[in-house]
Structure 1
């Protein structure tokens, strides 16, 4: 017999796992099919959660990110009740720094953006944000260079993508979620030639076919394949302009007690995220046109290490614990692709989060799961049409 589910989620990174968890939690019989591609973005991201201090000047993204990060508290509390393993989320302050005079202008521009967010979104809250001098900044992050300006925001957080994804899956399993390590080769579509019941020729999904040839029937299919999502566009008759952006990141062993060290965010697109086990993750490159090549390069690692030494010369004696590579699913406008596929009943997308999948993905999964269930997403401030695939 062919297996049948109410929903199949294709792709098990943090976004797909969130969709599957939220569907299962609401009683939807769900299969999560994941082939665990090498280089998927969830496995390599640093997981900085701080939209209040972002230097992005993109109103739809910021509005969505504020809601997405705000949802973490509710979701983490649910995961602590529904599964007994670690979730990888922790509150941790963020230290934004201008290391030299060239970055001071960007620092001041970001301060203006932060002031605007306080007026529109009520963040940062009074007292949670303050400017530090160089000595105060180094007291919080001892390896830091002498900096020109430093801003500390205490209400930020960080998340380990691999650990959080696993927690979502375990919690989903407690609600009946089924998982398969498998590759979906094609979608099963019906209609389109006037052969549906009403003769109108409407199209819809009827399941998926695995690369083994096995067919899985389903009323709904959610495509959450990250950088690989575009491969289903031709079948669905829609362009899914998601391309891989390679990001290289290193994990350093530090001979120091890193417990409580803040996230460090300079103004060249890099970062350093400290963990409580003597580890600092540093990165990341943003390599457009990299293709599906999940490997480190001499040039990429040099870029990361040069920035580490520029911003935190006190890490010069750190040793390399590991290097990771993620292929981020990037869209032309930097916004995710969420919601129903036009003219294909039962087909949905949850992809295109770029370098901010760990920040946005869990909430995106909830939003898309609500849409699959025919519900209007709760407290969704941004217009969902901004994230629809037909905007392209």
Structure 2
């Protein structure tokens, strides 16, 4: 069997790896667009379903939580660096009532039978978050919990592709055009070469809609620009810092060794594919950082990145075949959860591409589902 994967982000790389690992003749076509979401992601992996998530998303998140550590361990055993590390997390707030609510929520996640959740949730007294992460203000309190992870999206994506190439993957750079007769996709054209396959996995992130439009297929995926900044604290070792969630603002901060801190990104659904760091966007990122973690005011700005998260109209992923177009599997629409759910989405897309059923019910994730027109 021959399968082509279009898109080389975390989802496409995972699909290519899982196909190549099972011996499927696999080709990965990657346009290398500026603004791919994977390398611009902050690196927060929050592997637990939340009580208010729709039931299908909870099941999907559970599958992702179970899949993650095994996949990362397999890549590490093969000698591939992923930048994946399970670390502690903290949810912090200036309001004791908010901290109590967060504690109750995390306890609820941990107690659910059969549900992935934090192993322990501990109430943190006023000042304790600042003792653990010294850039935080002293008046914060919150909840500490085990099991959260951080991931370097660039490294993880590279590890998946390299491991797939070791198993026979062919990789081609360039813009892909789907081939077919209007009712079935038969392959892709890239760089003047026609490549034929039994199935094509379209995992092109925010660019997915463009690929399918010539066949009259409208999928509800659109770009959500995120501008993000990386800073450094040259005299501070950040390798053991937990991931921090600011409950009052729904923001995250994640640290990487030796002294790098990644700030919360903007969310700009109306920016289209405008790949720019704007004054307003960077100002928001830096102002938010100093507001929530004043100790970052003297940090060195290392770099800024721009990524286009693939958003969906209803907030649910897009995963599965297209009813009116045989031979294609769509895998995208993860929004800000790409690094958390992407490896599992790629693995499930690989199963679908070879004619197997997914382990979870994907009916709600139909890429051509009604009522969710593309922007």
> Fold-level match, TM-score > 0.5?
yes
Name the TM-score, length of structure 1 as normaliser. 0.88
Cα distance in 2, alignment partners of residues 125 and 292 from structure 1: 37
Partner of 1:96: 91
C-alpha change, 1:187 and 1:85, in structure 2 (3 Å) is same
1:8 matched to 2:4? The reply is yes
Partner of 2:224: 245
Cα distance in 2, alignment partners of residues 164 and 43 from structure 1: 9
Per-residue CA deviation, residues 59-86 of structure 1 (Å, 9 max, x unaligned), is 433332232132111101211233x231
SS in 1 for 2:4: strand
Counterpart contact for 2:81–2:159, Cα < 8 Å? yes
Cα distance in 2, alignment partners of residues 373 and 231 from structure 1: 24
C-alpha change, 1:106 and 1:139, in structure 2 (3 Å) is closer
Cα distance in 2, alignment partners of residues 63 and 108 from structure 1: 27
Name which of 256, 264, 281 aligns with 2:236. Answer: 256
C-alpha change, 1:172 and 1:316, in structure 2 (3 Å) is same
1:205 matched to 2:185? The reply is yes
Partner of 2:164: 172
Cα distance in 1, alignment partners of residues 40 and 312 from structure 2: 19
Structure 1 vs Structure 2 CA RMSD: 2.0
Structural mapping, 1:98-137, within 5 Å: 98=93, 100-101=94-95, 107=99, 109-117=101-109, 118-119=111-112, 121-124=114-117, 128-137=120-129
Query: What is the Cα deviation at residue 388 of structure 1?
Result: 0.9
Cα distance in 2, alignment partners of residues 298 and 105 from structure 1: 36
C-alpha change, 1:52 and 1:348, in structure 2 (3 Å) is closer
Name which of 167, 174, 179 aligns with 1:188. Answer: 179
Counterpart contact for 1:53–1:114, Cα < 8 Å? no
Partner of 2:291: 310
For structure 2, the residue ranges without an aligned partner over 5 or more in a row are 371-375
Per-residue CA deviation, residues 187-240 of structure 1 (Å, 9 max, x unaligned), is 1113x5xxxxxxxxxx22211112x32211111111111111111232333211
Partner of 1:273: 254
Cα distance in 2, alignment partners of residues 54 and 46 from structure 1: 20
Per-residue CA deviation, residues 25-64 of structure 1 (Å, 9 max, x unaligned), is 1111010000111111001101212243869644433332
Per-residue CA deviation, residues 262-308 of structure 1 (Å, 9 max, x unaligned), is 11111323211111111001011111111101211111111111121
1:65 matched to 2:61? The reply is yes
Cα distance in 2, alignment partners of residues 119 and 80 from structure 1: 30
C-alpha change, 1:272 and 1:335, in structure 2 (3 Å) is same
Larger deviation, residues 44-53 vs 363-372: 44-53
